[in-house]
Amino acid sequence: MPMVLLNCDKDIPERQKHIYLKAPNESTREFLPIANAATIPGTLSERGCAFCGAKLVIGGVLKDTIQMIHGPIGCAYDTWHTKRYPTDNGHFNMKYVWSTDMKESHVVFGGEKRLEKSINEAFDEMPEIKRMIVYTTCPTALIGDDIKAVSKKVMSERPEVDIFTVECPGFAGVSQSKGHHVLNIGWINEKVDTLEKEITSEYTMNFIGDFNIQGDTQLLQTYWDKLGIQVVSHFTGNGTYDDLRCMQQAKLNVVNCARSSGYIANELKKRYGIPRLDIDSWGFSYMEEGVRKICAFFGIEERGEQLIAEERAKWKPKLDWYKERLKGKKMAIWTGGPRLWHWTKSVENDLGIEVVAMSSKFGHEEDFEKVIARGREGTYYIDDGNELEFFEIIDLVKPDVIFTGPRVGELVKKMHIPYINGHGYHNGPYMGFEGFVNLARDTYNAIYNPLRHLAAVDIREGAVDSNLLFREAV
């Protein structure tokens, strides 16, 4: 079966190039959705902007860094209180956002003075913080404010501070993906190899592309601690600005999210010869494989096997309990991109769940190569899916649960389909062994929620054998 033109897309037939239904004996040589292409205006796409890809996804995770957004207030307001990435220092990163609150006069006369003043104020108000990232936004990019020059000036006047600049207005690229790229490349060009930290282990790595969603990073860190591996830097979950300046010191780059952070891993390889190892951190089978590979690289295979044995003993029975009850359930995944390929096979292998439809907001064709290679036949693979397409796909595949964002979750709730927050999780972390049991538990709790069955009952139609699926004791 080739690419699919949905009924709702008859007036925008180019959407056919973005939706694929996998059939037997086909490969991505024949069919691959076009991805990372411009969105059709007015389609109610799910995409965000390049600025948020830089600020909200990567830079804003850092636990010790002021995020100065040079632009009108909305860009700051909107990228605040929208993520669940805690830190071990009281969630400084989630509590604050900074804006130059650009006004019309700055559009006319330039906003550099305003920026300089705002930077100095921010450091004055929070004297314990010495690191900052400055971002441009659409209007400050359009008027050509030189944020680099301003930052340099402040750094020369305040030698104790360090500032990184990200020039990535919202209109750059076609989605948040562009912002990931700009931040990655900017960081390696300007900040990596500007500091050295103390190395305490002969086994060192950077853990790249994990943003500590509900504590993912902190959970995995317990593994690295047990294995005696020093994580030089976390890019960027629970991470610090200065650790990321020392990325060149690591012996191995372990990449979870290749979409948002593969760039910096590749550059570290080209420039410093540090090899890149992509792993999947969700799911037992993948996590085991990741631990094995990392340990094999350092020649500490036995430690790895011991960790795996301990974790399996602790968590596998719980996972299996859920697997017994989730087997054959149908899941849709509508998230950013990489979680499609991270999850499709892991929920199938570990939980017996069939993933029947997947949509990516900002994935590239590479992401579709991965997910189509791993995903099922009869499953829909959608690039930049929009609302009417979602309705049609739901009708076609009838999922029992959808992993997606909270807004779409509210939409599908009306159709009696439970959602799990595929971005910020319901009750995570979801990475690692314990995490995947959390994912299984949340999925079970969602699918076996009696309310959605009650919602289907029309009380006007006499007595109904509601046949509710009540839960069992765990």
Partner 1 sequence: MTSVLSSKVDELYHYVQERFLWQFYSRTWDRTENIDGIVAEGTCILLGEATKRDTPTERLLAVEAKVMVDDFHARFPWLKDATAEEVRVLMSGLREKLTDVAITSSKNHELNHTLY
Partner 2 sequence: MPCEISDKSVAEVKIVSKKRAGIINPMYDCQPAGAQYAGIGVKDSIPLVHGGQGCTMFVRLLFAQHFKENFDIASTSLHEESAVFGGTRRVEEGVMVLARRYPDLRIIPIITTCSTEVIGDDIEGSINVCERALKKEFPDRQIYLAPVHTPSFKGSQVSGYDECVKSMIKTVAKKGAPTGKLNVFPGWVNPGDITQLKYYLSEMGVDATLFMDTEDFDSPMMPDKSIQTHGRTTIEDLQDSANAKATLALARYEGAAAAAYLEEAHNVPNHQINTPYGIKNTDDMLRKISEITGKPIPDSLVRERGIALDAMADLAHMFFANKKVAIFGHADLVLGLAQFCLEVELEPVLLLIGDDQGSKYKKDPRIEELKNSVHFDMEIVHNADLWDLERRIKKGEIKLDLIMGHSKGRYIAIDANIPMVRVGFPTFDRAGLYRKPTIGYKGAMELAEMTANAMFAHMEYTKDREWILNTW
In terms of C-beta distances under 8 Å and separation of at least 24 residues, what long-range contacts does 389-394 make, across chains too?
A: 389/6, 389/8, 389/9, 389/15, 389/19, 389/359, 390/334, 390/359, 391/8, 392/6, 392/7, 392/8, 393/6, 393/332, 393/357, 393/359, 394/332, 394/357
Out of 23, 373, 455, 474, point to the residue binding partner 2 (CB under 8 A): 455
175 binds, among partner 1, partner 2, none (CB under 5 to 8 A by kind): partner 2
By a kind-dependent CB cut-off of 5 to 8 A, residue 266 interacts, out of partner 1, partner 2, none, with partner 1
Smallest gap, in angstroms, from Cβ of residue 421 to partner 1? Answer: 25
First to last CA, the chain: 42
Partner whose binding site includes residue 269, from partner 1, partner 2, none (CB under 5 to 8 Å by kind): partner 1
Using alpha carbons, list the distances in angstroms from residue 137 to 38, 46, 153, 351.
19, 20, 20, 43
Is residue 11 a contact point for partner 2 (CB under 8 A)? Answer: yes
Closer residue to partner 2, CB minimum distance, 96 or 321: 96
Residue 467 binds partner 2, judged by CB under 8 A: no
The phi and psi torsions of 136 (rounded to 5 degrees) equal: -80, 165
One symbol per residue from 52 to 81: x for binding partner 2 (CB under 8 A), - otherwise; what is it? x---------------x--xxxxxxxxxxx
C-alpha–C-alpha distance, residues 202 and 276, integer Å: 18
Give ∠ CA 79-49-88 in degrees, rounded to 5. Answer: 35
Q: Which stretch binds partner 2 (CB under 8 A): 221-229, 252-260, 281-289, 448-456?
A: 448-456
Cβ at position 267, least distance to partner 2 in Å: 23
Q: Near partner 2 by CB under 8 A, which window of 6-14, 154-162, 262-270, 342-350?
A: 6-14
Binding site for partner 1 (CB under 8 A): 27-29, 31-32, 36, 181, 185, 251-252, 258, 262-263, 266, 269, 273-280, 289, 292-293, 296-297, 345, 364-366, 369-370, 373-374
Which H or E run contains 5?
none
Q: For residue 429, what are the β-bridge partners?
A: none
At residue 18, φ and ψ (nearest 5 deg) are -110, 0
Smallest separation, CB 178 to partner 2 (Å): 9
Q: Which of partner 1, partner 2, none does residue 293 bind to, with CB < 5 to 8 Å depending on kind?
A: partner 1
Alpha-helical segments (H) within 30-111? 50-52, 73-78, 92-95, 104-109
CB of 105 to partner 1, least distance (A): 37
Q: Which of 88, 312, 91 is nearest to 218 (CA)?
A: 88
Which option in partner 1, partner 2, none does residue 75 bind, with CB closer than 5 to 8 A by kind? partner 2
Shortest distance in whole angstroms from residue 173 CB to partner 1: 11
Rounded to an integer, what distance in angstroms lies between the CA atom of residue 78 and that of residue 90?
21
Question: Least CB distance from residue 264 to partner 1, whole Å?
Answer: 10
Min dist CB 249 to partner 1, Å, is 13
The DSSP secondary-structure symbol of 31 reads: -
